[in-house]
Structure 1
Amino acid sequence: MSMKHAQPHFSQSQVTEMMKRLFDLTPSEIRSLPSYDDQNFHVVSAEGGEYVLKIMNSEDSKNYVLIEMQTYAMSVLHENGLPAQTVVPTTSGQLMSLEETDCGCGPQKYLVRLMTYLPGTTVSKVPLTPQLLYEIGKTAARMDKILHKMEHPHLGVLQRENFRWSLSNIPLLEGYIHLLDGEPLQEVVKSVIHQYKTSVIPKRSNFRECINHGDFNELNVLVQPEGDGHRISGILDFGDMNTGYFIHELAIAIMYMMTIHPEPVDVGGPVLAGWESVLPLNEAEKDCLYVLVLSRFCQSLVLARHSVMLHPENEEYLMITSRRGIHVLHRLWELGKEQVEKVWFQSAAQFSDKK
């Protein structure tokens, strides 16, 4: 089943009915929130309180244990002082409810969760100061450290073997590379995959394992004004959680912040300094950081192209990040590993000295 068919299309009256029946809450205001293949609503209740009602697409709704694991991870982070959403139980004490309805393609089952609402604006909408980038690196490291200590009988469900968004699975991109036929980008992607196979895979045994959030991007980090700058007020979207390595999370955070910064190469230093204030890198991790950041760019660009084929109606949205990403990837590739690492590691050291 394609994601398009699996996407829920609940009406506001259905949302009102569910809120009353499942949570004994009366919505006074319901606003649709953007989502790629689920359905999210910001709900203000007459009883006083703001929530996000999340309705999963019918395909992901089948992965009950995986969703349960993601929900548990959010609560663990929240208990440990990080701003993650928590789930509001139904009146019967359930964290999720499986709702069956026909959204236009026959009766389907959709997992419904009510979450606490986190205030703030996405980090994509505020100036990325070095201090904020430092906080982003620090928060990402704290998050993975907490997730690494998490205990749960179903942790194994996070070992997502052929999950194409895992940085452990860069060679899977070879199956999509034909989508770039005739573009200069194809040669860069091929070269990065080759670098990954020859320089990252042999060193992977020295990486420290953990559980990754896996999508620490500019739309999944919320901030609020504080003093002269901003503080992080929310971490969203645990749908890409998987077992991986600490260094993967750092590479992902650097890559996404580069896509929204006017001087992308300058992003690495402060994020790295923030990360290392919690988790200093070992030699193997340092040596692979550059190729891992480039690898995430390749994943993002190639898989966006794949998504455009499946959802041509979303092309404009999907290609916004892509156009910027292609430019940044070419720039990083032209500068080369030695030059980029020099900028990152020197500015990280200077940043840490000031702390």
Structure 2
Amino acid sequence: MASQSNPSECIEVQKPFLTVDDAAELFSHLYGMPKATSVKPLNGYDAQNFLINLDHVGIDDQDLNQDPKCCTQRYVLKIMSGEESKDEIGFRAIHSIQKYLKHHGYTCAAPLQNIHGDDMKIEEFTKKQPADGLNAGQRVRGRFMIRAYPFLPGVSLTSVGVVPANSTQVFYEAGKSLAQMHKILQKYPHDTTALKEKAKTFEWSLDNLSIILKHVHVVKDQKRRDFIVDIVKTFESRVLTIKDQFRKGIIHNDFSDTNVLVTPILDNSTTSENSVAHQVNYKLSNAVDFDDSHYNCLVFDIGISMMYMAVSKPAENHPLHASAAFLAGYQHVNPLTPEELEVLHICQAARFAQSLIMGLYTYTYIQPGNDYLLLTQNSWPIIEDLWEMKVDSVRKMWTDVAMECAKFDMHA
């Protein structure tokens, strides 16, 4: 396993570097569990994530997607980046949020306690890098926060192989889920100071959208660079200047196609939509990864989520229709104010710009080879279409899709 040796002459790194064997040994030692029978790396932006399997049945993607019973001996081990690991107070607040949501009936995982009776631990690791690649042959060192969660069954929206027959309803239900989360968290009784402070400095907070202007040079096309600048300036002048008019609360900030989980509905025999070959219906199952949560405007969270719904696999044929269905679901549970509706499409565009630039910059200069960072790079045509639409046309689309979605609650 990556060791705790003499730190002299080591290069300090921010990105965790554990192997699957390291992860298996660490989980067993820190959580007092049997040695894992198998370990599978999961996608991550800055953190390392591993699926830990303790039973004697192999990790089978189909089983994980469909059968909750198969997941009782599976866990997700999270190794946070060096920079993230400095925010112990912030992560304790996030853990408190997750426990509060779960206590109030919202489906999400709460962190596991380790052998020390805590739900996190920071450890220092050193390791000699291979002879090729980044920091070739050098000893590297990092201090990383270790956390773990029970594995939740389901497949992320971005991993759905075939567009679901009921994709519009899936997006609608996802919108309802975020609205329910917001309503529960409006009554969160504990101190939110750390979450408010996070909004001031966190690079993925829309408050700090202008950070991407320092990195926009990573886009080679001048027209697209100008396009990004226009979105940032519009957001600053039309949204940030009137922040006081919007409802505030704890937001997820990454309620995305990778963090919304769905499971297939196994008995579809009575669903006429399934006449399309190889298509099945899905239902919303869980929401995961609250690590970007902080205190901010609810409308930011809605726009952020609408952006990610539009770029998900099930939305590939009608991206803006998908985000409109998400909005309809949200509105059914927690209606937006006129002021929020006025700026919602700008918030959606702002996260498009943020994701496009941050992802490409990080891939180019910090984590080359991490293709997970490039998931949204094919979405340029979607944001260009949205930004070029007249506001009245956007509003009409939202209204039309909402009318289409009304049937879902009539048959509930």
Max Rg structure: 2
Aligned pair in 2 of structure 1 residues 97, 173: CA closer, same or farther (>3 Å)?
closer
* Aligned CA distance change for structure 1 residues 17 and 140 (closer, same or farther; 3 Å): same
1:176 maps to 215
Task: Give the C-alpha shift of residue 84 in structure 1.
Answer: 1.4
Matched residue SS, 1:159 = helix
Tell me if the contact between 1:223 and 1:230 (Cα under 8 Å) persists in the aligned partners.
yes
- The match for 2:354 is 299
The answer for unaligned runs of 5 or more in structure 2 is 1-10, 57-71, 129-138, 269-280
Aligned-pair distance for 1:220?
Answer: 0.8
Deviation per residue, 1:73-132 (Å, 9 max, x gap): 222222222221221212332111222221344443222122111011111233351111
Aligned residue in 2 for 1:50? 74
> Using the alignment, how far apart are the partners of 1:54 and 1:221 within structure 2?
18
8 Å contact from structure 2 (residues 250, 295) kept in 1 = yes
Q: What stretches of structure 1 of length at least 5 have no aligned partner? A: none
Residue 396 (structure 2) aligns with: 342
Moved more, 254-263 or 157-166: 157-166
Distance 2:30 2:363 in 1: 37
Q: What is the Cα deviation at residue 189 of structure 1?
A: 1.7
Q: What per-residue deviation string (whole Å, max 9, x for no partner) do you get for residues 240-280 of structure 1?
A: 11211111111111111111311112123311111011111
Give the whole-Å Cα distance in 2 for the aligned partners of 1:10 and 1:171: 33
Q: Deviations over 1:193-251 (max 9, x none)?
A: 23223322343222100111101111111111235422222212222112111111111
Report the CA distance shift for 1:172/1:311 in structure 2 as closer, same or farther (over 3 A): closer
Say if 2:98 and 2:108, in contact at 8 Å, map to a contact too.
yes
Q: How does 1:113-124 map to 2 (within 5 A)?
A: 113-124=147-158
RMSD: 2.4
Provide the rounded CA distance (Å) in 2 between the counterparts of 1:43 and 1:53: 7
Q: How far apart, in 1, do the equivalents of 2:12 and 2:176 lie?
A: 37
Correspondence for 2:376: 321
Once the two structures are TM-superposed, the CA of residue 46 in structure 1 deviates from its matched residue by 4.7
What is the deviation of 1:4?
9.4
Q: Give the partner amino acid of 1:166.
A: S
Aligned equivalent of 1:249: 301
Query: What is the one-letter code of the residue matched to 2:176?
Result: K
Where does residue 5 of structure 2 map in the other structure? none
**Which of 179, 184, 194 does residue 156 from structure 1 map onto?**
194
Equivalent position SS for 2:369: helix
Kept after mapping to 2: 8 A contact 1:188/1:333: no
Distance 1:350 1:133 in 2: 13
SS in 2 for 1:108: strand
The residue aligned with 2:272 is: none
Cα gap change, 1:33/1:289 in structure 2, threshold over 3 Å: closer, same or farther?
A: same
- Change in Cα spacing, 1:318 to 1:92, as seen in structure 2 (3 Å) is closer
Q: Deviations over 1:165-201 (max 9, x none)?
A: 1122333333333434642212222222232233223
- Count how many residue pairs are aligned between Structure 1 and Structure 2: 352
The structural deviation recorded for 1:44 is 2.0
Using the alignment, how far apart are the partners of 1:103 and 1:90 within structure 2? 24
